[in-house]
Chains A and B, each alone.
Chain A
Amino acid sequence: MLESLADIFLFDPEKPLIFTRLFFWAFYLVVLLVYSVIYRQRAVRNAFLFGASLFFYWKTSGLFFLILVFSTFSDYYLGNLIHRAKRKEWKKFGVGLSVVVNLFLLSYFKYTYLFVDTVNAIFNTDLEVVNHLALWSNRLTGTHFDVSMILLPVGISFYTFQTISYTVDIYRGKVDPVQHILDFGFYVSFFPQLVAGPIVRASEFIPQLYKRYSLSMEEFGFALFLILKGLFKKMFIGDYIALNFVDRVFANPVGFSGFENLMALFGYSLQVYVDFSGYTDIAIGVALLLGFRLPKNFNSPYKATSVGSFWKRWHISLSSWLKDYLYIPLGGNRKGKIMTDVNLMITMLLGGLWHGASWQFVVWGGLNGVGLVVYKQWKKISPYEQSKHWGVRFWKIFNTFLFITFTRIWFRSESMGKANQLIHQVLHEFKGSIIPHVLWSYRLVFGIMALGYFTHWVPERWKQALINGFIRTPLWAKAVITVLVIFIIYQSWSADLQPFIYFQF
């Protein structure tokens, strides 16, 4: 009994509260039950969802929820300071301090190791990371935190960007400060989008804090569809191909032929999409059932006809954040052609680094930046740029997809060495003769990959017809479909492990 209670309320790093765990849905049911009693009282509702979100974050990240609380306090009061300040200097000071504090938190937890490793590599030093926050806490309060390592709090990349958008938007006069700190805490920590986005702008979300709950039957159907779609994408497709193929190849590229490496790369291109977009689909659905509208974060990105169009379809909330809070403040396209390209490159390099603290992500961001810059020039001279012919469109989508997949080498590889190994295998150890054998042996994995790409590339009107069909079904049918989808996902989740296959080459 005590063990069960501990399981429910104590933090266990092995059991984070994520959408793919049964425990999350039990938590969500409890939230729904309480919510159904209090949802009419706006202040109580917001305070309750703030509390539920803090519990969610505690279960996901343990004591790191204190950082979230700190961020909430600092940006709430800085927001007020910026709004009330009469003099421009004070407003600038407030927004500057907010940006510095947030970026310091992000850099400290996310980039310290990268910084120390890079310094050690360049200057041949032997510096070691010391967690000064832990040291400070140990000395001050007698805690026993490990000072030799800095762990990354889950979701810090997302909520620091959200709080920056809040203070900057107040500074720009786009939004008024929230009235109560609990409301602000709710905005910063709202659990559906806390750990993996979408990054919600203050100007989009804060007005919803003061609106009454409303959810039409159509919206309910849409939210449920998104949840089921997200679970299917993440668990049926993403988890299966990762476990049974992709992760194995990326863990040891030289153990596999070039063809297997190439297939793993295409597999990863799909996996990263279904994982990430699946997770945000669930987030949007879960939030919508509570009456909150989160922005769309993906729009069939592999249908993009150029790198620029890809970034308007992929992780839209981040791209637009980077545009509004980095690219435009840098000068955007207002300072000449060369500076436009420079600003674009800076944005993409830093955007790459945001995704992960290693130089591979910088390479990935840089390649995407180069893709954007080159395409800008190419479209000026391309005779096919204005063509509406399906063949041209197909060719553009195909090339964009190939380019984005190519950049994934650095996005996925754990080290530069592993990325080089993958490229080497594809170029020098392709082993075309074993292709039929590989295809047959991994038929289930490749079949699921094909299904994933097929469902991605089908025309938008087909998808819309499916959504509309689902929305129109009666409630009992929705319940049966839900059970059926869970049953199908269970088949993939519980499927036997694809055995290791020895290809002789």
Chain B
Amino acid sequence: MKPLRIFIFFMAVALLLFLLALIFPRQGITITPGVHLKFMDLTDISVRDTADRDRVVEQIVAASNVTEDPEEGFQPDSLPASDSETIIQVFNAANADSLKQSVYRIRFAQGESQMLDPFFAKLDGLLDGSVPRTRIMHFGDSQIENDRMTALIRFRLQKQFGGSGTGLVQAIPLYSGHMAFEQEVSGAWLRYTFFGNRDSVITHNNYGIMGAFSSVPPPEEGVWPSLEYRFNTSRRTGTFDRVRVFLHSYADDASMAFMVNDTLTDTIRNIPGGFSVADYRHHSLIRELALQMNLPRGGRIYGISFESNRGLQMDNIAMRGGSGLIFSKMDRELQIRMLEYLSPGLLILQYGGNVVPYINAERYQRHFKRELELLKDFCPGVPVIVIGPSDMSLKEKGVFVTYPGVEPVRDALKSAALESGFAFWDLYEAMGGYNSMPSFVHSDPPLASTDYVHFTALGVNLVAEMFYNALMLEYKKYSSQNR
């Protein structure tokens, strides 16, 4: 067969494809409800890929100090110096060095720009010793799962203002991949969540502020069920000197034993039925810890906090599939009691991604504002920063484009936050705005997963660094005005 004939053959195929593209309906053909056939039309051939900015993103990574693990190889922070636009715009306008100094600002409602001052006053108090400790509670959806985002912000803040430990963790975590410890469980523990798929067995709504609890089985043949931890003490999050267990015993006379480094160091006895907090302090390094529970008829654990006596704590409270609308549906008194014990100085709520594909943004704004007002009642005077969703892509004829719902949901969260007198940080704009996600996915190394929604460890640290810079810019402003 001669090459010319092969050429003609391929031209014939191209012609057939051209004709097919010409006659195939633009909206496709639905065969059955699940089977929808599509074909390109002629304009699609000229469509440019949305990931045009890959190189920009790669250089962003090269220019920033992000690593997969914030506690390793992380450079001392460079405090932000200027107020500027999106990271991409900054990069295009200037050079990589200026990127480290750039920051996408936190937005405040009119007249509320001092809103974070009470928290900053506590940070100053940590530095001069007048405040022993304060706490940030970082709530969010799967974007912050497994301590993502929180880890970097916590590390940098604890380095600057003191403090150690992981903060609140669930007794039976969704993930076993925490970098601060390895955990083993003995006994028939179960984990229940208020967010995501709720277990219909649970008829009450006493889930606590983490929106989840673990059921503690009663002792079996004299053996107390236990949670055993081996801490990575080379990490800041792996060292702590205080353990608080938020629990609910179904009967009086419960007790809890603390075994530190294989030695029984304390047993808290006569724990009454109902909600209580077992508070344990230790003054030397804890490498291994076993919490042994004797709850005669079983009970629940709402959370365990590994923390330091002094300094800053930061909790990572991830609610897979959540949209931040559960606080008003769970038992109010229990949440308030836990918050009283925890005494947060700042709340961060990072949601939105799970409602982008589905919900009416206007309704979401109303409901989210209701939750914010509720949190205002739960902890009066405590500032809240709402972080909006990241960019998220859907695939249209093979090209990735931003979900139409991202900007309305971002606007809904922003309005809800500002109307409640709180602050808002726009993650979507900070990462580059419309169609920035494909650049994050296609960068090398990847900054986001191929679901075009979730950041990778590297990507999440990049945006966490941007948020940290934004927070520190406000703190710097506060400091300069108050000195």
Which positions in A face B, CB cutoff 8 Å?
13-14, 22, 25, 28-29, 32-33, 35-36, 39, 149, 213, 215-217, 219-220, 242-244, 247-248, 251-255, 289-291, 414-415, 417, 421, 424-425, 428-429, 475, 478-480, 482-483, 486-487, 490-491, 493-500, 502, 504-505
Contacts and interface: CB of A to CB of B under 8 A. Distances in A.
Nearest to B44: A494
B13 A482 contact: yes
Contacts of A149: 62
Contacts of B395: 494-497
B281 interface: no
Contacts of A25: 10
B1 A217 contact: yes
B394 to A, nearest CB: 6
Interface stretch (B50-58, B235-243, B252-260, B263-271): B50-58
Nearest to A483: B16
Nearest to A219: B1
Given A254-B175, A254-B177, A502-B196, A14 B51 contact: yes
Contacts of B450: 242-244, 247-248, 251
B100 to A, nearest CB: 16
Q: 4 closest A-B pairs (Cβ-Cβ)?
A: A254-B177, A36-B3, A36-B4, A502-B321
B285 interface: no
Contacts of A499: 357, 451
Given A217-B1, A478-B9, A487-B39, A248 B176 contact: no
Contact of B9 (A244, A479, A494): A479
Contacts of B49: 14
Contacts of A251: 446, 449-450, 456
Contacts of B2: 36, 215
Contacts of B3: 32, 35-36, 39, 213, 289-291
A29 B394 CA distance: 33
B13 A479 contact: yes
Which of B3, B37, B174, B454 has the largest count of A CB atoms less than 10 A from its CB?
Answer: B3
A496 to B, nearest CB: 6
A253 B145 CA distance: 12
B469 interface: no
B453 interface: yes
Interface in B272-317: none
Nearest to A39: B3
Given A13-B55, A244-B450, A500-B451, A22 B45 contact: yes
B341 to A, nearest CB: 27
Contacts of B146: 252, 254-255
B445 A493 contact: no
6 contacts: A220-B6, A252-B456, A255-B146, A483-B17, A491-B38, A497-B452
B22 interface: no
A14 B52 contact: yes
Interface string B188-203: 0000010011000000
A289 B145 CA distance: 52
A500 B12 contact: no
Interface string B386-399: 00000001110110
Interface string B8-31: 011111101100100000000000
Contacts of A219: 1
A247 B174 CA distance: 21
Given A242-B450, A247-B450, A494-B398, A479 B12 contact: yes
Interface of B: 1-4, 6-7, 9-14, 16-17, 20, 37-40, 45, 49, 51-52, 54-55, 62, 68, 142, 145-146, 174-177, 193, 196-197, 320-321, 357, 393-395, 397-398, 400, 445-446, 449-454, 456-457
Nearest to A245: B450
Most chain A CB within a 10 A radius of its CB, from B321, B451, B453: B451
B7 A424 contact: no
B39 A29 contact: no
A189 B139 CA distance: 55
B176 to A, nearest CB: 6
A493 B320 contact: no
Contacts of B193: 504
A329 to B, nearest CB: 36
A13 to B, nearest CB: 7
Given A479-B16, A504-B196, A497 B398 contact: no
A254 B174 CA distance: 9
B176 A254 contact: yes
Contacts of A479: 9, 12-13, 16
Given A39-B3, A255-B146, A502-B142, A493 B176 contact: no
B394 A252 contact: no
Contacts of A493: 398
A255 B455 CA distance: 12
A479 B175 CA distance: 52
A428 B176 contact: yes
Contacts of B174: 505
Contact of B39 (A32, A213, A216, A490): A490
A478 B1 CA distance: 14
Contacts of B6: 32, 36, 215, 220, 289
A493 B37 CA distance: 12
Given A220-B6, A424-B176, 10 more contacts: A14-B49, A22-B45, A29-B7, A242-B450, A248-B450, A253-B177, A415-B68, A421-B177, A425-B176, A500-B454
B419 to A, nearest CB: 30
Contact of A255 (B11, B39, B175): B175
Contact of B11 (A29, A417, A480): A29
B202 to A, nearest CB: 13
A290 B6 CA distance: 9
A412 B321 CA distance: 28
A220 B1 contact: yes
Contacts of B197: 502, 504
A216 B17 CA distance: 26
Contact of B457 (A252, A482, A487): A252
Contact of B176 (A213, A417, A429, A502): A429
Nearest to A244: B450
Contacts of B453: 500
Q: Which of A14, A215, A498, A504 gathers the greatest number of chain B CB atoms within 10 Å?
A: A504
